[in-house]
Each structure stands twice: as C-alpha cells, then as structure tokens.
Amino acid sequence: MSALAETGSPARELSAIVGEQNVAASDSSVAINGAFPALTVFPGSAEEVAAVLAFANTRGLVVAPAGGFTKQDIGGIPEQVDILLRTERLGGIQKYDPGDLTVSVSAGTPFAEVQRTLGEHHQWLPYDAANLERATVGGCVATAASGPLRHAFGGLRDFCIGVQFATADGKMGKGGGMVVKNVAGYDLMKLMTGSYGTLAVITRANFKVFPRPRQTRTFLCNFASLDETLRFRAKILASPLQPICLEILSPRTQDYLNDPQPARDPDDYAPAQPVSLASKIWQIALRATGSDTILARYKRELAGDASRELDGAAEEQFWRRISQFEYTILTRHQNAMVLYTHLPISGVGTVAQAVERIASDYNFIPAVLGRAATGNLIAAFMPLSVDPPSAMQYANCVSAFRGLLPTGAAAEVAHCPKEAKPHFDVWGTTPTDITMMKAVKKAIDPNNILNRGRFIV
C-alpha cells in the first residue's frame, strides 16, 4: 500500500509548494512498469524540486522523476510510486555562448529544442538517441541513452561539463561548471549519468558544444556473411578513415529500416526454417563527414564495398530510423524483448551469432543493430507467434543469451512485457563495484525514496 494513505493531506501540502494547478491525482494512463503513481507533481524551479523531495523524504514517500516519459519502462518493477515528479516545467536554455562553445540547459527541455537553437549558429551536440523531440535533457543524462554518433563522440557524459541537482533530503548540489577544462572537485556529472534518477533529480546540465558538420555522406556496404562484415570493420579501423558512425546491421534489422509502415503481423516475419547467416545479407553503415576532397577519398576507398550512397534528406531519414530502431520493433511487436549489450569490440561477432542462435532455440525472430566499434549493440527478440510467449520463455531466453556472452560483457533487458520481469534480473550480472554503488546510494539517499526498485541499487 502507498505510504500516502498514512500521511494526512499530501496533495494539499504539495500544492503549497508548487501551486494547486501543478498537483494532479493518479492518472491510469501513466504507469511505470505497471506501478501507478498516487500523485503527479510539476515543480517549476530547482527550488521547488528540492522542496518536494524534502517533503517526500520526511514522510518516507517514494519519488519517481520523469521527463519526456520515453524510457520509464526500462528497469525493475517499482515497489511503489507515491509521487511522480515531472520536470517539463523546468524548461529553457539558461545560457548559451556560441563563441565559448558552451550551453547550459534546464533539465526538462526537450533535447531537439536545444539542437535547433545550436543549429542557428551551425553548432550541435553530437547526440542522436531515440525520441529526442520528447526526451528531455535531464532524462537523456539520467539514462545515459546514446545513438550511432557514440562511435566518434562518445556519450553525453563525455561532453557534459556541469550538472545541478536536488538530493533526496531537499538540498541543492552541483558539480563542474561552464568551463570546458574543469577538473575541480568530484566528477559528479559522470556519477549522475546513467543513475536512472536514483541518486538525485537533475535540474540543469551544462555541455560543451561542437561545430556542426557542413556535409555528410553515408555508405552502405553489404556482405554475404558476418565474417566478411567483421573483416571489413577491421579494415576500416586500421585505415586512416575516421567515420562518425559505424553501424552493424543483421539481415532482419534491415526489414525494420527499409519499410516505414508501423504495423505488421509478427507472422509476416516468421521464417519457414532457421535463418542461415551465410544466405542473408549483413550490412555496415558508415557515415563520413568532411570536405569534398575527404568525401571523395571515402568514395574511392570504399568503391569495392559500398553498394549504395546516401546524402541529404534520404541520409537524415536513414539515421533517424537507426536511432529509432528499438521503438520500431516495439511498435510492430508489442511482446518483443530488447536488450542492450556492453562488450569488448572483439566480442561483437560472438554476440551477433548468439542472438541468431538463441532466438532460433526459443522461438523468436532475431535482429541486431549497433555500434560496430564500441560494443554497444541492441539485440531484439520478436515472438514468432501472435500469441505472447510465457514469462519463463523470456527468462530462459535471457539466461541462455547471457550464458554465451564473452568475458567482461553484460546485457541488460531494456524492454519486455512487465509480466516477465519478476522472473529474471533485468540488469544482469552484478557489477564488480556494487559495494561502492550501494555506499554512494546510502550516502546520498539514505531513506531510498528515489526510484526505489528501478535500478541496480
């Protein structure tokens, strides 16, 4: 039972903090892995966020921070959610210095809005995760989401230079600042990145920005086998070429990129017999940037491998579909399971083969897409039948897949039916630094009110 049932009139007290119009009762259409918040609160400033957290902390109320609500289904099933803290009123660019290449943004700002402002000065944040029209800056940092541009630029944590946040006891904190080479104090930016709102509520983030490429071109290279694909990757990594994206696409993945129609029966994709890797086309998508001379060199170097070139609107559309891949899967297959893998690049081939093998063993359709040179892959398992698989079918599939991962690799289940989650650990192998993670959580949120049950700790 929610702790709100034991606390007098929390809605009235929260209304005194954020205004009556910014407190709403539970909405049955808003749930976090099946858990329905008792109240939703919309603070309008960092100070109001801190005050809401202080109120919740003194009463033992569990708070779930939320931005654009694009990744709330990731993670474990919460024990309870008393207060859903929405950051959408924390919007706007607070400071932008094009000459200094820095920007400071309130956490509730949609990421695409930031990109449009930077674009007016031919600048950008080299970041292309999914759903950026809705996903907020704070949510992107908190989930450590990333996209194909991670190949050349890293993730948000690599160009986040400052962060402001409110802790569970209602105190304001900050790390870093607006200086690109800032090494003073603890690196709280990296601590908050990927913490899924379990340590604090991010209220503002600062970034170094980059000149936006004047032109890009994409080369699609097809191969008859995975082995040929990996040999080509090795050739590119050993060459002077420095693409900004280098994606590997399995045969089934291309079905979800080439056809923009959002709805098909899962049986349309059911193979009559196990898929043979040798008989299907694997693909590397390479995106280059530079002057006409540089792009001409890419064309010469790839002349024997590239089957197609993309530029302009067609290129932009292709990379949007790459970024949206997992959500296209979820749209077409409501019972799909999607995993994120983190592994040495030497293990990319092993894991791609493991997806194909395990999918066949457990009656799923396989698809793999991801960063060919960083080891960050998205593995999708779509049911062959329109009938949903049993919870144990998902659990056994996950266990078997993790059993084939190379040493040092990990796989988290990002999306699957919530009914399956109680049967396995969505986060996978316990990290070696779990003791330190627990100590940090205990120090910053001793009453465990922030996103209880969602993350590893």
| The pLDDT value given to residue 386 | 75
Q: Which of 211, 231, 247 is a domain's end point?
A: 211
CATH of the domain at 337: 3.40.462.10
Structural domain span for residue 205: 93-211
CATH of the domain at 27: 3.30.43.10
Tokens, residue 67: 């931005």
Residues 6+ apart with CB under 8 A from 349: 226, 227, 230
Tokens, residue 204: 């503002």
Task: Read off the DSSP letter of residue 167.
Answer: E
Both 41 and 109 in a single domain?
no
Both 230 and 363 in a single domain?
yes
| The pLDDT value given to residue 259 | 52
| The pLDDT value given to residue 9 | 83
Both 285 and 268 in a single domain?
yes
Three-state secondary structure readout of 263-278:
CCCHHHHCCCCCCCHH
Crossing angle for the helix pair 391-403 and 348-361, to the nearest 10 degrees:
150
> What would you report as the CA-atom Rg of the chain, rounded to the nearest whole angstrom?
23
| The pLDDT value given to residue 30 | 86
Both 376 and 233 in a single domain?
yes
Q: Which strands make up the sheet holding 200-208, listed edge to edge?
A: 93-97, 102-106, 200-208, 160-167, 172-176
In order of 34, 241, 302, 383, the CA distances from 283 in angstroms are 37, 18, 14, 23
Q: Which residues of the chain fall short of a pLDDT of 70?
A: 1-8, 180-186, 259-279
In order of 169, 179, 259, 433, the CA distances from 447 in angstroms are 9, 34, 48, 21
Number of domains in the chain: 3
Three-state secondary structure readout of 368-410:
EEEECCCCEEEEEEEECCCCCCCHHHHHHHHHHHHHCCCCCCE
| The pLDDT value given to residue 432 | 79
Burial class (CB in 10 A: 0-12, 13-18, 19+), 152: middle
Q: Examine residue 235 and state whether it is found in any structural domain, yes or no.
A: yes
* Residue entry with tokens 């059993």: 403
Report the b/e string of 325-342 with b at 16+ CB within 10 A.
bbebbbebbebbbbbbbb
Both 20 and 113 in a single domain?
no
Q: What are phi and psi of 346, to 5 degrees?
A: -65, -15
Q: Which of 159, 193, 211 is a domain's end point?
A: 211
Q: Which of 158, 190, 211 is a domain's end point?
A: 211
Report the b/e string of 343-365 with b at 16+ CB within 10 A.
bebebbbebbbbbbbbbbebebb
| The pLDDT value given to residue 430 | 76
Q: Examine residue 233 and state whether it is found in any structural domain, yes or no.
A: yes
CATH of the domain at 191: 3.30.465.10
Both 237 and 355 in a single domain?
yes
Both 355 and 275 in a single domain?
yes
Both 279 and 251 in a single domain?
yes
Both 313 and 393 in a single domain?
yes
In order of 164, 302, 435, the CA distances from 442 in angstroms are 20, 53, 11
Give bridge partners of residue 162 from the DSSP assignment. 176, 206
Both 286 and 324 in a single domain?
yes
Q: Which residue in 208, 199, 155 sits closest to 180, CA to CA? A: 208
| The pLDDT value given to residue 4 | 58
Both 205 and 236 in a single domain?
no
Both 236 and 206 in a single domain?
no
Q: Examine residue 450 and state whether it is found in any structural domain, yes or no.
A: no
